[in-house]
Structure 1
Amino acid sequence: MKHYVECFPGREIVLNNTKYLYFGGTAYLGLQTNVAFQNIFIENLKRYGTNYGASRKSNVQLPIFKKAEEHLAKIVGAEACLTMSSGYLAGQFISQYLSTSNYRFFYAPNTHSALFQTKLEPYATFGQLADEVCEHLESKEASVPVVFLDSIDFSGNNYPNFKGLQLLPLNKVILVVDDSHGIGIVGDNGGGVYKTIKKLSPKELIVSSSLGKGFGIQAGGIFGTAHRISVLMDTPFFGGASPASPSGLATFFQSEKLYQKNRKTLKGNIKFFTDTVSDINQFTHMKNHPAFSFSDMTLTEKLEENGIIVTNFKYPNEDSTVMSRIVISAAHKKEDIQYLCRHLNTLLK
């Protein structure tokens, strides 16, 4: 069932004049309704305006783009970074750029549509993917295999150990990874998975991500080698696209202490939930990540009857299976989580 709300869905939402606790969405650090974060954003909005529609190639430049990109690259552990107006656009940019005869595309299980540029389907298993990649390499075709995947696909198959990836001859494979649900949340200082996957020694690693889920701003990022980022920046795609909002990037640049504080709060909330719910194994979840997936539609309905709304819809389109997920955020109070767990512990008996 669709629910319509008149303001951002924080820890609570109001439906038909009734207040519900909300455990859904992707505002993991709870920044979108955080007053301190909003105040930083408002000040930057006054300075940089509501939108910056000029090209990044313009003869008039704003230094905040380079500052934010250098800071992002440092946090992630990449040589360089470029920003765009959304994570989806960032993923499409990479896949479109690589859509030449020089490369052969392969899609890992559960890869997000942001990385698709062809009608290819994701492989059902990493075993099948590995077989196809090896067969391609043995064929001696000149095209380089490019494997696309989501770092966090909510099945638990990728992050944190990436066992499936290790079936591949990674030294001969370019990896393109969507880290939208990881960056800002997992990894050292919210750096996401870049450093972890880099240790697997792929031929090349390119990471794209939304900056909205972990950092609370409307923007996307691409991370990779200095050479790759330089080449991408010199394309008509990058030069012709409107950039990320400079007010958002400035807010990101100035909010490190808030990110650290809310990340610590989120980690505590996740631990409190996993310690308090009676049977955590009823959910598919990943260590230190705030999303807990399940497939029991009855549970969703019973939670709503008790004043709790969770993520529950077909994603990414109406032909997809229903995605049901409890999401713990830094905005939740301990009593919110206690209330959720009390009902879960009754309903999961």
Structure 2
Amino acid sequence: MAYEIDTFPGRTVSINGEPHLYFGGTGYLGLQTDALFQNLFIKNVQKYGTNYGASPKSNIRIDVYRKTEHVLCHLVGSEAALTLSSGYLAGQLLAQTLDDKYHHLFYAPNTHAALFQRKIKPFTTFTALNIAVREHLETKNNKETPVVFLDSIDFSGCNYPNFNALKTLPLEEIILVVDDSHGIGVVGENGGGVFNLLKKLNCKELIICCSLGKGFAIQGGAIFGNEERIKKLKNTAFFGGASPATPASLATFLDAQELYDQKRMELRNHIAYFSTLLKRPKKFHTMKEHPAYTFADPQFTEYLESQKIIVTSFPYPDEDAQLMSRIVLSAGHKKEDIDHLLECINILPKL
């Protein structure tokens, strides 16, 4: 059931005037309602203003963009990076740029809508994707480089952390484009996401895009890749014609590095605590270091709601899609919140 609320959902949410614990959303570090983080953001709004609508190619350029991209490169492990106003825009920039006569686009199962430029159906299995890519490569006089799009965190456990299905593809001949929106800031060394992990697979070219909102609690997006690729993307009309991320958001990212580390450690402690005490963990799809616990039973969602617990549960990305249900821990939760959740789950004879 959908509810309309008038405040941001933190560790709790008010439903029909009644307080409920909230174990949903994508605010993994719990910073959107954190007072210290908000004060950093307010300080930067006072310095940089509420919005900056100039082109990134303007003759007046605020240096916070260059500084942020430098820090992001170091964090992720890429040669170069660029920032945009959203993760969706980052995905669309890549999809539009690579959709030309020199490339052939392939979409892995469960690929996010942000990476689609045309009405191309994703493959339902990696086996079918593998066959299609190899058949394409075997076509005589074929000058189109295959580009495979996928999500790093697909909530089924198919990709991160092992990427076993991906490893079956002829990666040395593939440009790999990965949406790491649910990984960056949360998984990997210092929250660097999956770039260094996927770099070891030696694909023809690796490009990562992401939202900065889920792991870093700021409105913005980013793309990571080699210097040549990032330079080409920056030279597109698409990039030059779009407003950039607000400088206040990026400045807050720079100022909050110690806070990110602290909250990431708190989140990982929550994950370890919950996972250790959870009975019948096989009833959930989980991923190493990630706070999402996916399940398929709508009656379980209704049961949790009866216990004053709200989780993520809705058809995604549209009404015709399969119901997406998951429990999401955040660094903003308290131990007693998690204890109550565990008590409600563990007393059930079956899920």
For the criterion TM > 0.5, the same-fold answer is: yes
Offset, 1:246:
0.4
The 5-angstrom pairing of residues 305-316 of structure 1 reads 305-316=306-317
Q: Deviations over 1:289-325 (max 9, x none)?
A: 0000000010000100010000010100000011000
2:70 partner letter:
E
CA distance, structure 2, for counterparts of residue 348 and residue 221 of structure 1: 45
The residue number in structure 1 matching 2:175 is 174
The alpha-carbon deviation at position 280 of structure 1 amounts to 1.1
- Residue number in structure 2 paired with 1:19: 19
Distance 1:217 1:89 in 2: 15
Q: Partner letter of residue 101 of structure 2?
A: S
Q: Deviations over 1:202-241 (max 9, x none)?
A: 0000100000000000000000001110111011111100
2:126 is the counterpart of 1:145: no
Corresponding residue for 2:39? Answer: 39
Task: After TM superposition, list the pairs within 5 Å mapping 1:98-117 onto structure 2.
Answer: 98-117=98-117
Tell me which residue corresponds to 1:206: 207
> Match of 2:305?
304
Identity among equivalent positions (%) equals: 56
Q: Which runs of 5+ in 1 are unaligned?
A: none
Rounded Cα–Cα distance in structure 2 between residues aligned with 1:138 and 1:118: 24
**What aligned pairs does 1:110-259 form with structure 2 within 5 A after superposition?**
110-140=110-140, 141-259=142-260
Q: Which residue of 2 aligns with 1:29?
A: 29
Cα distance in structure 2, aligned partners of 1:194 and 1:64: 23
Matches within 5 A, 1:2-13: 2-13=2-13
Return the offset for 1:348.
5.0
**Counterparts of 1:56 and 1:299 in 2: how far apart (Å)?**
47
Give me the whole-angstrom Cα distance separating, in 1, the residues matched to 2:268 and 2:349. Answer: 24
Per the alignment, do residues 168 and 270 of structure 1 end up closer, same or farther by CA in structure 2, a change over 3 Å counting? Answer: same
C-alpha separation between the residues in 2 aligned to 1:270 and 1:24?
14
Task: Look up the equivalent residue of 2:312 and give its one-letter code.
Answer: T
Letter in 2 for 1:43: K
Q: Which moved more, 1:173-182 or 1:339-348?
A: 339-348
Q: What secondary structure is seen at the aligned counterpart in 1 of 2:149? A: strand
Give the deviation of 1:279 after TM superposition. 1.3
CA distance in 2, matches of 1:91, 1:269: 31
Shift of 1:4: 1.2
Runs (4+) of structure 1 exceeding 6 A deviation are none
Q: Deviations over 1:144-180 (max 9, x none)?
A: 0000000000010000010011111101000000000
Q: Which amino acid aligns with 2:258?
A: K
1:71 is matched with: 71
Q: Give the SS at the match of 2:157.
A: coil
1:344 and 2:334 aligned: no
Distance 1:93 1:315 in 2: 22
Number of equivalences:
349
The alignment partner of 1:303 has SS state of helix
- TM-superposed deviation, 1:17: 1.2
SS at match of 2:347: helix
SS of alignment partner, residue 338 of structure 2: helix
Deviation track 1:72-124 (CA, whole Å, cap 9, x = no partner) reads 01100000100000000100000000110100011001000000012111111
Matched, 1:88 2:84: no
Amino acid in the other structure paired with 1:175? L
Give the superposition deviation at 1:275. 1.1
Residues 32 and 216 of structure 1 are in contact (CA less than 8 Å); yes or no, is this contact kept in structure 2? yes
Deviation at 1:347, TM superposition (A): 2.6
- Give me the TM-score of the superposition, normalised by structure 1: 0.99
Q: Secondary structure at the match of 2:32?
A: helix
Tell me the CA shift for residue 263 of structure 1: 0.3
- The code of the aligned residue for 1:129 comes to L
Q: Which residue number corresponds to residue 52 of structure 2?
A: 52
Q: Distance in 2 between matches of 1:132 and 1:59?
A: 46
Q: Distance in 1 between matches of 2:62 and 2:119?
A: 38
